[in-house]
Amino acid sequence: MAQAPHAPQEPTEGSKPRRGRVGVRVVGRPDSLEQRLYLPEVLRGLGVTMRHFFANVVGRKYTVTVQYPEEKAPYPERFRGLHRLMHREDGSVRCVACMLCPTACPAHCITIVAEDTGDGKEKRPKIFEIDELRCVVCGLCVEACPCDAIRMDTGRHAPAVVHRGDAILGKVDLLKLGGPSQATQGGKGATWREEQ
């Protein structure tokens, strides 16, 4: 029968591949019954499985699973947790309601209503709320704040809640988690307005 003009040529055993072409290595079929049943390879594979099984069950050598909540993996130093609002030495909130953090927040989960402090200089938040269920824990609010007023270094997760509204932390909740900060307000010192 005549061969089709573009039919692939059968490689012969020992034939060398020509440069620029894909070579074909001809492998002989298994001869013995043991080889035909692939028993050695099956047993070798089972050996690997059993080695990992006992290493994990007895020695837990390769186990990465943590039995939470009985066990807790150590958090990295820069772990971003629940928010908190920092306060000054006199106990007042450091936030000056500049609105930088809600502007930076990609999840739109920060709500601030500003009010006058009464000293003719600064504002403060009358309402400061963060919806921890909407928060994507990006840390942009902390980066944006010029006053070291908001931090995420509590080392705690947002707690599980039954009602949606319970996930919204208000100013009082955030201040309870907060602490004192002596950071230079605005990065220029407390008397920067007088120096203008």
Binding site for ligand SF4 (CB under 6 A): 95-101, 104-107, 109-110, 112, 130, 135-141, 144-145, 147, 149-150
Identify which of 179, 135, 140, 142 has the alpha carbon closest to the alpha carbon of residue 157: 135
Choose between 100 and 175: whose C-beta lies nearer to ligand SF4: 100
Nearer to ligand SF4, 56 or 122 (CB): 122
HSE toward the beta carbon, residue 9, CA cutoff 13 A: 9
Kindly tell me which of 45 and 180 has the beta carbon lying closer to ligand SF4: 180
Among candidate residues 136, 149, 156, the one with its CA nearest the CA of residue 101: 149
CB 132 within 8 A of CB 169: yes
In the complex, minimum distance from the CB of residue 182 to ligand SF4, in angstroms, rounded to a whole number: 16
Residue closer to ligand SF4 (CB basis): 98 or 175: 98
**To the nearest whole angstrom, how small is the minimum distance from the Cβ of residue 186 to ligand SF4?**
9
Q: How far is the CB of 129 from ligand SF4 (least distance, A)?
A: 10
Residue 157 exposure: Cα atoms within 13 Å on the Cβ side:
6
Handedness of CA 142, 148, 153, 159 (dihedral sign): negative
Minimum CB distance to ligand SF4 smaller for 140 or for 168: 140
Distance of CA 50 to the CA centre of its chain: 33
Question: What minimum distance in Å lies between the beta carbon of 72 and ligand SF4?
Answer: 22
Q: Toward ligand SF4, which CB reaches closer, 56 or 140?
A: 140
CA-to-CA distance for 26 and 40, rounded, in angstroms?
Answer: 21
CA-derived radius of gyration, the chain: 33
Q: Name the strand (E) or helix (H) holding 144.
A: helix 140-144
Give strand ranges (E) for 29-122: 84-85, 110-116
Min CB(125)–ligand SF4 separation in Å: 6
